Amino acid sequence: MSVINLFHTAIQGVSGNKLRAVLTMLGVVIGVASVITMLSLGNGARAAVEATFRHLGSDHVMISAKQIYENGEYIPVGSTLTYLDGLLLPVRVEQVKKVDLSLRAHARLRYGRVALEMNISGVTAGYIENLLSQAKVVPLGWDDNHPIEPSAYLAWGRSFTATEVLEGAKVCVLGIRTAQDLFAWENPIGAKIRVGRWSCQVIGVLKELESIDTEGQFTSNPNEALFLPISTLIQMHYEDEPSVSITAYVRDETQMEAAKQEIAAFLRQRHGIQPNIDGQFNDDFTLVTRKDVLGSQQEAARTFSLLLATMATVSLIVGGIGIMNVMLVSVTERTREIGVRMAVGARPRDIVAQFLFEAVLISSLGGLLGIVLGALSIPMAARLNQGIALLDPGSLPLSLGVGMLTGVIFGLYPAVRAARLNSIEALRYE
């Protein structure tokens, strides 16, 4: 029997009871749609992890004070992670070559009759360039084919130096929008503005910036900013020692675990943390590397994908059982037809091919509908995955292949059973 004849016969067999065929397809439709959704969410989860933490270099260790959530707010645990902790880190820990320190606060800015309420940042020398480049923020209209030098971020003036940070110099760098709001279109370099109760001299203004990070790593407006030396912000804004964020740069990233152990030992010594009776340390700080974050996030993504894969497998099995059940009913209903075909010379393999082709046709149609449903469900699934789900074109033929394979596996037994019928008994069947 030719493929064309098989196809024509299969269409006749399936169309004989359209409602039953559609109901049989439902399990395959849901299963294939689940496969597409699973792969899309898996791709989206991996992309989200990579995008969110690509700013965290492989040689970086993020150090922050440990906090617990209690009564609706985060409360620090143990000692404060101080500015002096950060300064001493590259001096006392051999594996650390340098550190970046940062601190945020809310303040009122004033120049003449103009006043602004905004968040300000205290940072170390060079931190501005590192922050902007890591967060995928570039000067407006910058050509992607050209490398960005730190000076490319400055419209006027300069950034503050390491000496100014250590001395607590009262200098600041403004975002372009902040400079325009305070000074209109005048050149603000050298002018003094009020930050809270203190004054500081403007030594630099950043160019107008735009984010090229589609995942929104840079959550605040980079054009509305004020950067101070971190030591200056501590003097101006805090009565008690504030907790700072520290980014440590390791000399040799292959020795990351050894570096983390040295950093932990230094901070334990600084904070007076002693081991408990079990020899464990109750640290009041956390150390996070790119490997730590990616590992935990990818493990969560794998668990989620496994859950979806299980659901897809169950749906396909249910759909396959439905196909097998319908095909067995069809074999029973068409026993006399099978006897006639055998009587006129049809071989057992022709009967197998006929019913197997019908099962594959049902599963293929279900697979095509599942692809459509899966593609349409991706936006809804993305809302459950922080807005990220990436459809891989390669998943479409894979999903269709899974659907067809379901038809082959679960349609084989009914087809073989039909081929094994006795032709004489089949002709007598009423």
Structure confidence at residue 234 (pLDDT):
92
Give yes or no for a contact between 29 and 373, defined as CB atoms under 8 angstroms apart: yes
Structure confidence at residue 219 (pLDDT):
52
Mean model confidence pLDDT for the chain: 80
Tokens standing for 124? 């170390």
Structure confidence at residue 181 (pLDDT):
92
As a whole-number percent, the residues of the chain with pLDDT over 90 amount to 12
* Mean of pLDDT values over 191-210: 90
Tokens standing for 209? 């910036």
Express each pLDDT in 256-265 by its tens digit: 888 888 998 8
* Mean of pLDDT values over 356-381: 83
Provide φ and ψ at 95, rounded to 5°: -75, -15
The DSSP result for 272-292, as a single string, is T----TTS----SEEEEEHHH
What pLDDT band is residue 214 in, cutting at 50, 70 and 90?
very low
What pLDDT band is residue 111 in, cutting at 50, 70 and 90?
very high
Structure confidence at residue 79 (pLDDT):
80
Structure confidence at residue 217 (pLDDT):
45
Could you give the C-alpha distances from 62 to 11, 13, 229, 285, 290, in angstroms and in order? 63, 65, 20, 10, 9
Express each pLDDT in 231-250 by its tens digit: 999 988 888 888 888 888 88
Express each pLDDT in 1-35 by its tens digit: 566 666 666 676 666 677 777 777 887 888 788 77
Tokens standing for 80? 């404060």
Q: What is the CA 363 to chain-centroid distance, rounded?
A: 33
What pLDDT band is residue 223 in, cutting at 50, 70 and 90?
confident
Express each pLDDT in 267-310 by its tens digit: 988 888 888 877 788 888 888 887 776 666 667 667 766 777 77
Q: How far apart are CA 415 and CA 410, in angstroms?
A: 9
Express each pLDDT in 67-86 by its tens digit: 777 776 777 777 888 899 98
Q: Does pLDDT of 56 surpass 60?
A: no
Least confident of 269-278, 343-352, 388-397: 388-397
What pLDDT band is residue 216 in, cutting at 50, 70 and 90?
very low
Q: Does pLDDT of 129 surpass 90?
A: no
Looking at residue 99, its amino acid is V
Q: Does pLDDT of 215 surpass 50?
A: no
Q: Does pLDDT of 133 surpass 50?
A: yes
Express each pLDDT in 163-175 by its tens digit: 999 899 999 999 9
Positive or negative: CA dihedral 255, 257, 258, 262: positive
Tokens standing for 26? 């439902």
Residue 370 three-state SS: helix
User: How many other C-beta atoms can be found within 10 angstroms of the C-beta atom of residue 392?
Assistant: 12
Residue of 50, 48, 79 whose CA lies nearest to 64 = 79
Q: Does pLDDT of 202 surpass 90?
A: yes
* Mean of pLDDT values over 102-131: 86
Element (H, E) at 247: strand 245-250
Least confident of 46-60, 214-228, 303-317, 401-415: 46-60
Q: Does pLDDT of 187 surpass 90?
A: no
Q: How far apart are CA 298 and CA 45, in angstroms?
A: 8
Q: Does pLDDT of 132 surpass 50?
A: yes
